[in-house]
Amino acid sequence: MYIDCLAKSNRTDAAEQAETVLRTMKQKYEAGEKQLKPTVVTYSAVIVAWSRTRNNPNAVPRVEALLEEMKSAQSLSPDVQSINGVLRTIAYSKLPDKLQRTEKVIQWMKESGLRPDHHTKQAVAKYQGILF
């Protein structure tokens, strides 16, 4: 998938490009091209792309918006990989309220019945030093 390739690339505009592809897919799907329906994997790849942009002030708001978009869609329930990408993006941000943002995501994860995987647990442990 092209979005996944963008997410794993070192291009400085990878996240923006990945999100543009996602938006195009969504528009075409809504116009009747059912084979272009964005999936959880598609959204997760875009979140990963944003998580790799360490100094972009738009990264956290974008992944949070993507997460909310997924939560509001019936067939796009976020999975652990999506959550891990959001947590990673928040942890590496320079936002003063990143601890509260992290807690909010983890609380939603618990309320949704999503169980953290070993990557989530490693991420929280690894990023503790970054968060505090």
- What is the reported pLDDT for 131? 55
- Token pair 């942890």 is found at 91
- Token pair 């509001």 is found at 72
- What is the reported pLDDT for 33? 97
* Pairwise CA distance, residues 62 & 20, whole Å: 12
Domain interval for residue 10 = 2-131
Mean pLDDT, range 102-122, rounded to an integer:
89
- What is the reported pLDDT for 129? 62
Mean pLDDT, range 8-18, rounded to an integer:
88
- To the nearest whole number, what is the mean pLDDT of the chain? 89
Ordered alpha helix ranges (H), the chain = 2-8, 14-30, 40-51, 59-72, 80-91, 98-111, 118-131
| pLDDT tops 80 at residue 127 | no
Q: pLDDT over 70 for what percent of the chain?
A: 93
List all residues 6 or more positions away from 93 whose beta carbon is below 8 Å from its beta carbon: 59, 60
Total domains in the chain come to: 1
Chain centroid to Cα 74, Å, comes to 17
Mean pLDDT, range 81-96, rounded to an integer:
92
Question: 39-53, 55-69, 71-85, 114-128: which has the minimum mean pLDDT?
Answer: 114-128
- Token pair 């944003």 is found at 50
- Tens digit of pLDDT for each residue in 41-54? 999 999 999 999 98
Ordered alpha helix ranges (H), 56-96 = 59-72, 80-91
pTM recorded for the entire structure: 0.89
Q: pLDDT over 90 for what percent of the chain?
A: 65
